[in-house]
Chains A and B, each alone.
Chain A
Amino acid sequence: MRLELADFPVKEARFGEKTAYSGGRLEIHKEELLELVRKDGRIAFADLDLAFPGEKTRIVNGRDAVEPRVKVSGPGGVFPGIIGPVETVGEGRTHRLSGTAVIASADYAPTVFSGTGAKNSALLDMWGEGAKRTPLSRTINLVLILRLAEGVSEWEAHATIQEAEFKVAVRLAEATRELVPPKLEVMELKPVDPALPRVLYIVGCITEAATPHSSTALYGLPIKDSMPTFMHPNEFFDGAVTTDARRGYGSAIYTWMWMNHPLILGLYEEHGKRLNFLGVIFQRTRFETELGKQVTAAMTSQMARLLGAQGAIFTRMTESGNNLMDVMLTVQACERKGIRAVFVTPEYSGNDGTEPPMAFATPEATGMVSTGSSQQAIRVERPDKVIGVEKGQGVQLLTGDPLLSPWGELVLEQGRYLFGWPDWFGYLNFTGREY
C-alpha cells in the first residue's frame, strides 16, 4: 500500500472572502463553512473562531479535534464510514493542511448524567502551563462552536458534532486539491533488509460496551467487543480511526492524534533504517472478566507471533486499571512468546510523585517509557479571550459537576481536564524520573 501525503503547511490563517491556500497562508470563508454545518437540523447554533499558538486564549467545551485532510486520488475518502462509503483507505494521495486543527467546541443537553457514558469536555489553553501539555496548542486552530437542538440523543449528539467537524475539515483541505504541494511524503512499507528487527505497534484501546459510543471506532463502527485487529499504518493517516465526539476531557484521544500518531510516524521513519515496521495491532481492551483479559492477551500475542514480530511497542489510552491489566497481561504474553516488549505510558504517582505509578504490573514489563505523571495539579493563568461560551458564562467539565468559570486563573486537580493530557502516545516531552 502506497500513500502520498501531500503537505500544505499553514503558517498564517484569517477569515476572508473565499476559502483558499497560498504559500502557507490559509484564507477561510466563514459563511460558506457555517452553511455546510447549519444544514443539519440538529444544530441550533454554529459559529467559527480562530485561536493561535502563544496567545492567551482558552478554548472551552472541547470535544474532539481533527486535521484538515482530503483524498484527491485513490480508493475511498478520508473518514470512511462517516462522511463517505466504507472502503479500505491508505492508498493514493491525500492532501493535508499541517499545522492546523479543527476543534469541535460543542454543548447539548445531556441524557446520561453520570458514569463513563456521560459527555464531558476539556479546556485547551494556547499559552502557558496548559499549552505545554497538549500538541494542539502548537497548531492554528479553527474552533467550530456548536449548540445542539433540544432532544438529541447521546448518539445523535456524537454523530452531529463529528459530522460537522469532519465536513469543515475536509472543506478546508479541498482548497489545496488543484495545488502542487510544497512537500510530499510517500508512506509505504517497502521490503527491507531481512536482518532488521521486525517490530509491531500494539495499541490497547479503551472500548466500553455499555456506552452510546464505545470511544474508539474503526471505519465509523464503534468497537464494542472484538479480538485484536491488524491494520496498515496508512489507514490511520486517512482517518479510519475516530473517536467519541461527545467526550473531550483530557484522557481522551482525539481524531487528530490518531492521524498524527507519533509512534506510528516514528516507526515509519525508522523503517528500513533501524527496524522493519510490520504494522499496527488494534487491540480492544477493558474486558470485564479475568477470562476476557487472558483471552485478549493470548490472542494478541499469538497474532504478533504469527506476524513474525521480534519486538512490540505498547500503549494504552485511559487511566483505568482495567485497561492497564489487559495491556500488562499482553506484554507478559508477548515476552513469553519471545517477543520483546516496550510499554509507553503516563504514570499515576500522586500530586507529589511518591505514590505507586501503576495499579498493576507484570514482572516481564521491564522496558517501560514514562510520558510524565498525570496526577499533578496544574495552575493555569487567566486568559485574555475565551472561545466557546458567551462572556462570563461557566462551563461544565463533567456532566453533573458544578459550573466552572473559565475566565480566571484555575487550579486543575490532576490536570486531566486539559485537552490532550496526559500523553498516551508520546507526543510531548514529559517524562517521570526517580531521584
Chain B
Amino acid sequence: MAYITTMTMLAEQWGANRIVTGAGIPRPCGDPNLNPEGDRVLRREIVGCALKALQTEVSGPTVFVPDVKFAS
C-alpha cells in the first residue's frame, strides 16, 4: 500500500508503511493554481512516485517525496 497525503507526519504516527507527499488536503494529487499542463505534470510525478514506492521494500513508515516543487 502507498498512501498519498500532505499530512505525512500524521501518516507516520499512524504507521502507514509507504507515505507519498501529496499537494494539499482536499487535492492530494493536483493543484488548481497551476495551468492544466503544470497540473498534469504534478499529478504524473506524484502518482509515479507512489508506483515506485509500491515497488520498494520498507521496514516501517517511510516517506517518499515526489520530485516536484509544491507551489501552493
Contacts and interface: CB of A to CB of B under 8 A. Distances in A.
Interface of A: 210, 288-291, 321-322, 325, 359-361
Contact of A325 (B10, B14, B24): B10
B17 interface: no
Contact of B70 (A289, A325, A360, A361): A289
A361 B13 CA distance: 8
Interface string B1-29: 00000111110011000000101111000
Contacts of A210: 26
Interface in B20-71: 21, 23-26, 70
Contacts of B23: 289
Contact of A288 (B8, B21, B24): B24
6 contacts: A290-B6, A291-B70, A322-B25, A325-B7, A325-B9, A361-B13
A211 to B, nearest CB: 12
A289 B10 contact: no
Contacts of A321: 7, 10
A247 B24 CA distance: 25
B5 to A, nearest CB: 9
| Nearest 3 interchain pairs by C-beta | A288-B25, A288-B24, A360-B10
A288 B7 CA distance: 9
A30 to B, nearest CB: 46
Contacts of A288: 6, 24-26
A359 B12 CA distance: 11
Nearest to B72: A289
A164 B26 CA distance: 35
A33 B9 CA distance: 52
B9 A289 contact: no
A360 B26 CA distance: 18
Nearest to B21: A290
B6 A359 contact: no
B24 A289 contact: yes
Nearest to A358: B13
A428 B16 CA distance: 36
A360 B12 CA distance: 10
A291 B24 CA distance: 9
Contacts of B72: 289
A409 B56 CA distance: 54
A289 B24 CA distance: 5
Contact of B25 (A289, A359, A360, A361): A289
Nearest to A291: B70
A360 B6 contact: no
A99 B6 CA distance: 45
A52 B72 CA distance: 51
Nearest to A209: B26
B70 A359 contact: no
A359 B10 CA distance: 7
B13 A290 contact: no
A365 to B, nearest CB: 12
Contacts of B9: 290, 325, 360
A290 B26 contact: no
Nearest to B13: A360
A289 B6 contact: yes
A288 B28 CA distance: 10
Contacts of A360: 7, 9-10, 13
A361 B12 CA distance: 11
A325 B25 CA distance: 12
Contacts of B26: 210, 288
Contacts of B13: 360-361
A306 to B, nearest CB: 26
Nearest to A210: B26
A398 B57 CA distance: 44
A109 to B, nearest CB: 26
B36 to A, nearest CB: 20
Nearest to A320: B25
A210 B32 CA distance: 13
A288 B9 CA distance: 14
B8 to A, nearest CB: 7
A289 B6 CA distance: 6
